[in-house]
Structure 1
Amino acid sequence: MFQWVDLGVSHFPGIISLAVGLLMWMTSLHPVRKKKFELFFYTHQLYVIFIVFLALHVGHFLFCVSAGGIFLFILNRFLRFCQSRKTFDIISIKCLSCGTVELLLSKPANLQYNALSFIFLQVRELSWLQWHPFSVSSSPLDGKYHLSVLIKVIGEWTEKLRGNILNSFEADLHLQPQTKITASVEGPYGHELPYHLMYENLILVAGGVGISPFLAILSDILHRTREGKSCLPRNILIVWAVKRSNELPLLYTNDLESIYPFFLDKLNLEIDIFVTQESQPPLEEGQVHEATNSSPPVSNSCSMSVLVGIGNNIWSGLYVISSTLGFVILLYLLDTFYINPYDISPWWYKGLLLLICMLASVFIFGGVVVGLWHLWERRNAARETCKDNRIMVEKMQHNEILAHMESCQQKLASSVNTYYGSRPNFKDIFGDISEKWGYVDVGVIVCGPLGL
């Protein structure tokens, strides 16, 4: 069992790979993953050991069976690594009364995404390894130099993030050094096809902070309607379930009125809100919940990398092609000048060499393309407006959103129906909509917990 043979399958590296795989599997079970997320996350960094000892265990011949999938993973991981090394500016931070945090992040003008995209966010003061996914709550038409995300405080990482933000805000009030926040992003990821623009009739079903991508959809539709761009949706129903009424300000984080003041004349918008854990409206209903705003010190003056995002198909294709060709070339050179002349026969050694060729082809050949890609995008970004001016403009735009908050709430009041102490009955809701809109094709998008 502990033999390490030259010809055939070596059992000892297989035992190590199996042990690591079982450990990763056990920590990925739902009870462990839910209660001990960090244990689940950190043990899955052992995938490197799993793959290396798998190659040593099965050798080059059998390792080729899984080499294709592993090679694609290496391609993706290296590109994400290159993007995530760059830190960027957090233009502003807003803490809502419900505990949700809104981040306004700086991005280059040539970074493209759509209204259903998501990002992975890392805050280095909290963890160097943890990356958490968040839906983008802004439309790409909201501004060329920023995007926003809504983060609900429900776990240890988000609690620490909110604590750092509040400490930074308190230090600013007392003229003390603020808590530094250094952030990096992977993404935005998402489909290149904007599904929300394919239907004239849309039903958006959200639970809690799941309203976030639908805010981006609404903003995107209003921008397109105002600018006369192609935009199919004309009837939109939002069904939003929340636990408590203090989450309602999430609906107004995007000022729809400031985007297109007369959008209700062009768009039939109806919003049904279900507050499930309150039987009646609170006494302060109708008041605007104040938010704590803070602009933390940024680590440098730059925006996120453009290496990942939609619209870069040419560079992405060159990256994949160059890495694949590099892999073939390295295999040929290795076989011609090393394996055959020196009569290399151990399976485990050939498996290790195969894995090294995969890594080297991505790092060397793919790395050259990534470097050229980065230089090209940086050159394009240099043609845009001065960075200091654009950050100031974005802050002014963000302040305008806050100033128009009350106006937006008043104009939307006629379109918003709030129900307390009940959950949405989708059979009745869909039945009423079919009578109101007629028997037409309807696009339904759902974002929220499984119990929704």
Structure 2
Amino acid sequence: MFRLLNIEFAASVKYHVWFGTGLIFFSLVHGGSTLFIWTITHHIEEEIWKWQRTGRVYVAGLISLVTGLLMWITSLPQIRRKKFEVFYYTHHLYIVFLVAFLFHAGDRHFYWVLPGMFLFGLDKILRIVQSRSESCILSANLFSCKAIELVVPKDPMLNYAPSSFIFLNIPLVSRFQWHPFSIISSSSVDKHSLSIMMKCEGDWTNSVYNKIEEAANCENKINNIIVRVEGPYGPASVDFLRYDNLFLVAGGIGITPFLSILKELASKNRLKSPKRVQLVFAVRTFQDLNMLLPIASIIFNPIYNLNLKLKVFVTQEKKPSNGTTTLQEFLAQSQVQSIHLGTDEDYSRFPIRGPESFRWLATLVLITVLTFLGFLIGLSHFFIPSEHKNHSGVMKLAASGAMKTAKEKVPSWVPDLIIIVSYVIAISVGGFAATILQRRRKHKEAPRMSKEVVIKPEERNFTELKPIPITEEHEIHIGERPKLEEIMSEFEKNLRGWSSVGVLVCGPESVKEAVASMCRQWPQCFGVEDLRRSRMKMNLNFHSLNFNL
């Protein structure tokens, strides 16, 4: 649905947070009001634990409310970012929440949310089917700032937009943990591989770093570290190309989406590119500047003609340990450990294929919906007879002699169970069909993949950045924080004529808030008359990119 409506995955997460918070708020108001009324009428102990034969089941409503609150609390940033696995596994209580909601609200109210349930269930099944396909790590680069660049093979037919991301699982570290990471490569440049970068700041990422390091130091070299991938997810189109100029602000590991954007801009396949690109990169230590190494050739080589200017701010150190004075010298002396783990055959054996086509998805939705309706009608007809008849098929007469319908009250949980059973069967059939269709796709594409001429990603020698005879335009500011208003004013002075500027930011919330505040305070014009009355040269268009969920 997001691909169809061209909604970014990160934006959908934001909408999910808003709607989820609203749902919990109104559920608290509803549940709290009911409990308050029962308390003042002295019926709370009698009503709260009662499982009604017909009508609303109050204890199910209490279970749904408590489960929703638990999911909401564990999704707060303080818990989600430090204990992602707690947030991830607790969120699977949505099954308990929805089943309890069905028993509490009844089947008639549940039909209002059933379409969304169908789309969610199908999406979950498709992600499970996709994640069962195995890939492998072709190579890895270990940076001194405890960051890792991982390269995995992909189908050359798989295209993704810059700033996309994937969910990654490495069974060697944990069979059940999945984590999102930004893609730093460009499908326009790297046809047969996909690269991500992770900063090792948690237990899982540190374990990945240690496993890769062990593989490099082991005498019996480990090949084919298996990984599982979901995605890529991200914008359906390259939206930033519509701007005349780009103003990029990154904090720490928030640089990763911009690495893919700059690689896309450096690609010669683009007819239209921004005229000027300003990148503001704030880090705590000099070692964190190593995250710029994947685009070092783009930064310093004039043949790409990006008109890129980089301002780096190192906030917590006063001087580099290696005595360098320029960004190029520092990156040239940076230590990177490159490790090759895969073989040429792995490009065709373990490619990431990505999401399926809309036609494929429409077929799967149709199969699932028809299965659900068939079982719902059949089971309802069998377990919920509408009227009781005698052996001759004539309606029983009431004692008074009047003809009346003798309809027995069926427990409310019976139609609820029928909905659950029909839904589970339909989703299972959809998953089975998805598995068959995916296997047919792999079998069909196997001959093409085996004959594909593999173009490996460019070999980068991180220790030999040859000096280029041009003026060093990139700046390093030590012990300072970026003054965004001054940088933007300087950027505006260098523009020729009026232009639209895409302001993209990725990093901690404090960085995003600072950039958003600057954009709100910056004077804007909305038409020809405003342009004539003002001396402004640009309109700012703010976009926030997420590097974590």
TM-score, normalised via structure 2 length: 0.72
Which sits farther off after the overlay, 358-367 or 274-283?
A: 358-367
Residue type at the aligned position of 2:418: L
Q: What's the secondary structure of 1:251's corresponding residue?
A: helix
Cα deviation for residue 162 of structure 1 reads 0.9
Q: Is the 8 A contact 1:319 1:370 kept in 2?
A: no
Q: Which residue matches 1:147?
A: 194
Q: Distance in 1 between matches of 2:463 and 2:384?
A: 71
* Alpha carbons 1:107, 1:145 under 8 Å: kept: yes
Structure 1 pair 383–116 and aligned structure 2 pair: CA distance change class (3 A): same
The 8 Å contact of residues 169 and 229 in structure 2, kept in 1 or not, is answered as: yes
Q: In the alignment, does 2:416 pair up with 1:351?
A: yes
1:436 is matched with 494
Q: Distance in 2 between matches of 1:411 and 1:59?
A: 74
**Larger displacement relative to structure 2 (31-40 or 133-142):** 31-40
Contact kept? 1:318, 1:369, Cα under 8 Å: no
Q: 2:436 corresponds to which residue?
A: 371
Alignment partner, residue 277 of structure 1: 316
| Alignment-derived partner of residue 33 in structure 1 | 80
Instruction: Measure how far apart 1:290 and its partner are.
Output: 1.8
Say which of 97, 109, 123 aligns to 1:50: 97
The DSSP-based 3-state class of the residue aligned with 1:262 is helix
Report if aligned partners of 2:285, 2:317 keep a CA contact under 8 Å in 1: yes
Corresponding residue for residue 327 of structure 1 = 372
For structure 2, list consecutive stretches of 5 or more residues without a partner in the other structure: 1-47, 388-407, 512-549
Within 5 A, what are the aligned runs for 1:289-438? 289-296=334-341, 301=346, 302-308=349-355, 312-340=357-385, 345-365=410-430, 367-369=432-434, 371-376=436-441, 378-386=443-451, 390=454, 393-394=455-456, 397-398=457-458, 400-402=459-461, 406-407=465-466, 410=468, 414-438=472-496
Secondary structure at the aligned position of 1:383 is classed as helix
Question: What is the match of residue 448 of structure 1?
Answer: 507
> 1:107, 1:146 within 8 Å by CA — same for their partners in 2?
yes
**Contact between 2:245 and 2:501, CA under 8 Å: does it hold in 1?**
yes
Q: 1:77 matched to which residue of 2?
A: 124
Please list every run of 5 or more consecutive structure 1 residues that lacks an aligned counterpart in the other structure: none
Aligned length: 434
Amino acid at match of 2:503: V
The SS at the match of 2:175 is: coil
Deviation of residue 164 (structure 1)? 1.3
> 3-state DSSP class of the match of 1:239?
strand
Shift in Å at residue 280 of structure 1? 3.1
Measure the CA separation in 2 of the matches of 1:51 and 1:413: 62
Name the aligned partner's letter for residue 20 of structure 1: T
Higher relative contact order (CA 8 A, sep 6+): 1
Inter-partner Cα distance in structure 1 for 2:119 and 2:265: 35
Among residues 239, 249, 258, which one is paired with 1:195 in the alignment? 239
Question: Given residue 283 of structure 2, which amino acid in structure 1 is its aligned partner?
Answer: V
Corresponding residue of 2:254? 210
More deviation, 58-67/135-144:
58-67
Q: Compute the displacement of 1:369 (Å).
A: 4.8
1:148-187 to 2 correspondences below 5 Å? 148-171=195-218, 175-176=219-220, 178=222, 181-187=225-231
> TM-score, structure 1 length as denominator?
0.86
| 3-state secondary structure, aligned to 2:417 | helix
Give the counterpart letter for 1:138 in structure 2: S
Q: Hey, what's the Cα distance between the residues in 1 that align with 2:352 and 2:101?
A: 34
TM-align CA RMSD:
2.9
Aligned residue among 223, 237, 243 for 2:278: 237
Among 195, 215, 221, which residue is 2:265 paired with?
Answer: 221
Q: Tell me if 1:254 matches 2:295.
A: yes
TM-fit CA distance, 1:55: 2.3
Confirm whether residue 92 of structure 1 aligns to residue 173 of structure 2. no
TM-fit CA distance, 1:344: 8.6
Equivalent in the alignment of 2:20: none
Aligned residue for 2:378, secondary structure, equals helix
Q: SS of 1:93's equivalent?
A: strand
Secondary structure of 1:114 counterpart: coil
Q: Kindly indicate whether the alpha-carbon contact (under 8 Å) linking 1:138 and 1:148 is maintained by their aligned counterparts in 2.
A: yes
Deviates most, 20-29 or 424-433: 20-29
For the residue of structure 2 that corresponds to 1:183, the secondary structure is strand
Q: Percent identity?
A: 32
Residue 235 of structure 1: how far off its partner (Å): 1.2
